[in-house]
C-alpha cells in the first residue's frame, strides 16, 4: 500500500516511462524496485480520480511483471495494488451515488488467488483489507446476501494469520455488517440486539479459533479482538462496530445505550490520539442515531443536542458520508421544531437541508428535504399561516415532479388540502396551477422511505455501477463507511434514519431501494425513516381521511350495484 506516496500522476507516469524504456534484462535491481513501486502508486492514483480503466491497465502491467518472475516479491506488490483498487471509504466522493460492487469483488478474488498460491502474511493483510472493503461495497450496492459469507472467509484468514492488521480489517468488516445487516435482527419491537453470525457448525473443527457462530454478538466479538490486539487500527474498527450497533439501539429507542457507545468511541479516540480521525469519523453515525432515538422518545433536549453534535462532526469531516448523517439528524431536529410549534427554528434547519441537497448529488438528500418540507407545510396549516402554507404546497407540488417519493408527497398534499380547504380556496390560483402540473394520486399509497448501505452509514442504495452494473448505495457509510457506509450507507433498514454507510448512512438509509441503497419496503437501512416514526395524525386529518375512505367505499358499492343491474338487464334481453 502506497498511501504515503505524494507524487503526482504526471510524475509517476514519467518515472514509469523512463524505467520502462530500458531493456528488462539491463535493468538494475534498484530500477526494477522503483518501477514496481511507481506502478502500484500510479494505479492507486488513477483509481483515486475515477480513471478505473487506466487503473486496471496499470494493474495488468504489474501482473505481467509478476508472471515473468514468480520468485520475486511482485506478487505482494500486486496484492497491495489490487487491495487499493477495492477501496470504498478512501474513495467516498466517487461512490457517492454510484458503485460497482462486482468490479471490487473481482479484484478481491484475484488477491485470494494469489494467497492460495502463497499463503503468506504479506498477502494475507491486503486480502483482509480487500475483503472488508468488498463487504462495504456489497452493502452499498444492496447485495447484503454476500456479506456473511465474506465475513466467514475473513475469519478464516484471521485464524491463519492472527495479526493486528488482519484483526483491524476484520473489525471494519463487522462494522459494515452492523450498518447494512443491523436492521435484519428480527421483527418490529424486538428487544434482542444480538445477530446470529455466519459459521456452519458442521464445518467447524476443534482447531478453529473462537469465531462468530449462531449465538455470537458482533460487539462482543469486536471487544474480544480488541483485548487481544490493543492496537490503534483495531480500536478504529471497534469504534465502527459500536457506531453500527446504534442502528439497532435507535430502533429500540434506547437512547442511553447509544450515549454509552458514543462515550466509548470518544474514550478510544482519547486513548489513541494518532488514530483519532479514523475513530471519530464513526461518531456521526452514532450521534445521528441518538437524535433519531431522542425524537422517538419525545426528548426534545436530546434531539437538539445530538443533532448539533452530528452537524459539528460533519463540519469537521466534510465527507459525503458525514453529510448524509448530518441530513438525518437535521431532519429529526427540524421535525421536532415543527411539531413543537417553533416555526422559525424549523425553517432554519430546513434551509440547512436545502444547502446539503444543493451540494450533494445523492438523492437521499432530496428525500430528507422533501419530508422536512412536508412537515413545514403541515405546521403552517395547523398554525393557520395561509400564505406560507400555500407557498410551501406549491413548492412541494413542483418538487414532487420526477421525485422518487412523488406518490407519497402528492397524497400528503391532498390530505393537507382536504384538511384545510379554506386556506387554499383563498389563493390567487398559483397553487392550483402548480397542482395541475402533476397527477394527484388518490387512495392509499404504498410508501418506501429512502435514505448507506449510508454508508452511510454510509446509503443510498440508489446507485448505478460506473461500469454498467446497477446497485443500490447506502450512504450512510460511516459511508453510513452509512447513511456508507454507510459510512453513511446505512442506518437500520427498518429504522428511520439513513448508509452508506462510514462505512455509510444506511436508516436511513441507506439509505438501499431508492436513496442510499439500504431501503426496504418497510423503511430504510441507511437513510430512510419508518412510517411509524411519523407523529399521530391530528383529529381533523383523521376525520378527513375517514371521510375519504367512506366516500371511496360508497363509490365502489354504487359501481358494483350499477354493474349488477346492467348484467341483469343484459340477461333479461337475451
Quote the cell numbers at residue 316.
Answer: 469537521
With bands split at pLDDT 50, 70 and 90, how would you rate the model's confidence at 415? confident
Say yes or no to pLDDT of 477 above 90. no
Task: For residue range 138-196, list pLDDT tens digits in order.
Answer: 999 999 999 999 999 999 999 999 999 999 999 999 999 999 987 553 332 333 333 22
Mean pLDDT of the 306-332 span: 96
Residue 386 has pLDDT above 70, yes or no: yes
Question: Where are the domains positioned within the chain?
Answer: 7-85+103-139+152-161
Nearest residue to 497 via CA among 242, 294, 194, 217 = 294
* Helices and strands, counts by H and E, the chain: 22, 4
Q: What Rg, from alpha-carbon coordinates, does the chain have?
A: 26
For range 111-133, the mean pLDDT: 97
Burial 227-253 (b: 16+ CB within 10 A, else e): eebebbbbbbbbbbbbbbbbbbbbbbb
Give the whole-angstrom CA distance, residue 523 versus residue 536.
18
Q: Is the model more confident about 407 or about 72?
A: 407
Check whether 422 has a pLDDT greater than 90. no
Distance CA 244, CA 552 (A): 44
Whether 448 contacts 515, CB under 8 Å: no
**To which H or E segment does residue 523 belong?**
strand 523-524
Question: How does 181-190 read in b/e, with b if 16+ C-beta sit within 10 Å?
Answer: bbbebeeeee
CA 486 to chain centre: 3
pLDDT at 546: 55
Mean pLDDT of the chain: 76
Within 8 A by CB and 6+ apart from 173, the residues are: 131, 132, 135, 150, 151, 154
pLDDT of 20:
84
Cα-based distances in Å from 370 to 326, 412, 413, 434: 16, 11, 12, 16
pLDDT of residue 230: 96
Query: Is the pLDDT reported for residue 24 higher than 90?
Result: no
Rounded mean pLDDT, 305-320: 96
528 pLDDT more than 60: no
Q: Which pLDDT score, from 0 to 100, does residue 414 have?
A: 84
Q: Using a pLDDT cut of 70, give the percent of the chain over it.
A: 67
pLDDT above 60: residue 23: yes
CA pair distance 96, 90, nearest whole angstrom: 12
Q: What distance in Å separates the CA atoms of residue 504 and residue 479, rounded to the nearest whole number?
A: 2
Q: Residues of 464-501 as b/e, b for ≥16 C-beta within 10 angstroms?
A: bbeeeeebbbbbbbbbbbbbbbbbbbbbbbbbbbbbbb
Q: What is the pLDDT of residues 208-231, one digit of tens each?
A: 344 443 334 899 999 999 999 999
Q: Is residue 125 within 8 Å of 111, Cβ to Cβ?
A: no
Cβ(99)–Cβ(111) below 8 Å: no
Q: Which three cell numbers stand for residue 177?
A: 455488517
| 517 three-state secondary structure | strand
13's grid cell:
507516469
pLDDT digits (tens, 9 = 90+) for 253-301: 999 999 999 999 999 999 999 999 999 999 999 999 999 999 999 999 9
Rounded to whole angstroms, the Cα distance separating 561 from 569 reads 12
pLDDT at position 131 over 80: yes
Amino acid at each position: 500500500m502506497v498511501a504515503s506516496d505524494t507524487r503526482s500522476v504526471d510524475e509517476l507516469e514519467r518515472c514509469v516511462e523512463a524505467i520502462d524504456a530500458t531493456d528488462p534484462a539491463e535493468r538494475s535491481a534498484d530500477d526494477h524496485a522503483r518501477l514496481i513501486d511507481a506502478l502500484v502508486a500510479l494505479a492507486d492514483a488513477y483509481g483515486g480520480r475515477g480513471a478505473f480503466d487506466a487503473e486496471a491497465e496499470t494493474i495488468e502491467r504489474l501482473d505481467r511483471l509478476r508472471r515473468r518472475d514468480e520468485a520475486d516479491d511482485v506478487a505482494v506488490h500486486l496484492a497491495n495494488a489490487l487491495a487499493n483498487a477495492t477501496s470504498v471509504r478512501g474513495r467516498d466522493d466517487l461512490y457517492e451515488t454510484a458503485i460497482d460492487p462486482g468490479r471490487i469483488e473481482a479484484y478481491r478474488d484475484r488477491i485470494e488467488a494469489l494467497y492460495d498460491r502463497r499463503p503468506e502474511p504479506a498477502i494475507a493483510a491486503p486480502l483482509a483489507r480487500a475483503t472488508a472493503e468488498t463487504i462495504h461495497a456489497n452493502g452499498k450496492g444492496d447485495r447484503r446476501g454476500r456479506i456473511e459469507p465474506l465475513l466467514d472467509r475473513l475469519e478464516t484468514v484471521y485464524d491463519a494469520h492472527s495479526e493486528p492488521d488482519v484483526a483491524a480489517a476484520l473489525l471494519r468488516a463487522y462494522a459494515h455488517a452492523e450498518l447494512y445487516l443491523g436492521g435484519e435482527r428480527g421483527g418490529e419491537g424486538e428487544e434482542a440486539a444480538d445477530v446470529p453470525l455466519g459459521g456452519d457448525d458442521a464445518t467447524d473443527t476443534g482447531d478453529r479459533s473462537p469465531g462468530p457462530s449462531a449465538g455470537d454478538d458482533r460487539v462482543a466479538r469486536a471487544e474480544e479482538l480488541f483485548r487481544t490486539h490493543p492496537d490503534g487500527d483495531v480500536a478504529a474498527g471497534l469504534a465502527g462496530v459500536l457506531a453500527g450497533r446504534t442502528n439497532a439501539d435507535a430502533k429500540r429507542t434506547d437512547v442511553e445505550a447509544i450515549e454509552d457507545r458514543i462515550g466509548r468511541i470518544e474514550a478510544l479516540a482519547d486513548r489513541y490520539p494518532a488514530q483519532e480521525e479514523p475513530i471519530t469519523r464513526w461518531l456521526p453515525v452514532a450521534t445521528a442515531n441518538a437524535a433519531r432515538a431522542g425524537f422517538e422518545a419525545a426528548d426534545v433536549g436530546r434531539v437538539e443536542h445530538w443533532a448539533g453534535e452530528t452537524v459539528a462532526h460533519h463540519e469537521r469531516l466534510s465527507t459525503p458520508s458525514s453529510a448524509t448523517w448530518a441530513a438525518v439528524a437535521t431532519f429529526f431536529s427540524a421535525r421536532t421544531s415543527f411539531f413543537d410549534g417553533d416555526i422559525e427554528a424549523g425553517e432554519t434547519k430546513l434551509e440547512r437541508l436545502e444547502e446539503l441537497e444543493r451540494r450533494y448529488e445523492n438523492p437521499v438528500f432530496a428525500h430528507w428535504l422533501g419530508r422536512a418540507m412536508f412537515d413545514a407545510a403541515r405546521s403552517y396549516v395547523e398554525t393557520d399561516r395561509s400564505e406560507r402554507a400555500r407557498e410551501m404546497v406549491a413548492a412541494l407540488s413542483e418538487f414532487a415532479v420526477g421525485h422518487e417519493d412523488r406518490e407519497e408527497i402528492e397524497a400528503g398534499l391532498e390530505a393537507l388540502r382536504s384538511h384545510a380547504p379554506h386556506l387554499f380556496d383563498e389563493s390567487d390560483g398559483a397553487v392550483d396551477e402548480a397542482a395541475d402540473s402533476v397527477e394527484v394520486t388518490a387512495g392509499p399509497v404504498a410508501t418506501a422511505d429512502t435514505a448507506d448501505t449510508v454508508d452511510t452509514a454510509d446509503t443510498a442504495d440508489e446507485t448505478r455501477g460506473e461500469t454498467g452494473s446497477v446497485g443500490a448505495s447506502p450512504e450512510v457509510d460511516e459511508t453510513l463507511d452509512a447513511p456508507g457506509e454507510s459510512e453513511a450507507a446505512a442506518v437500520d433498514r427498518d429504522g428511520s434514519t439513513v448508509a452508506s454507510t462510514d462505512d455509510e448512512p444506511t436508516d436511513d438509509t441507506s439509505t438501499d431501494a431508492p436513496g442510499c441503497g439500504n431501503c426496504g419496503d418497510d423503511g430504510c437501512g441507511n437513510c430512510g425513516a419508518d412510517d411509524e416514526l411519523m407523529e399521530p395524525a391530528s383529529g381533523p386529518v383523521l376525520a378527513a381521511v375517514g371521510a375519504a375512505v367512506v366516500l371511496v367505499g360508497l363509490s365502489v358499492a354504487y359501481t358494483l350495484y350499477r354493474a349488477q343491474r346492467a348484467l341483469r338487464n343484459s340477461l333479461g334481453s337475451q
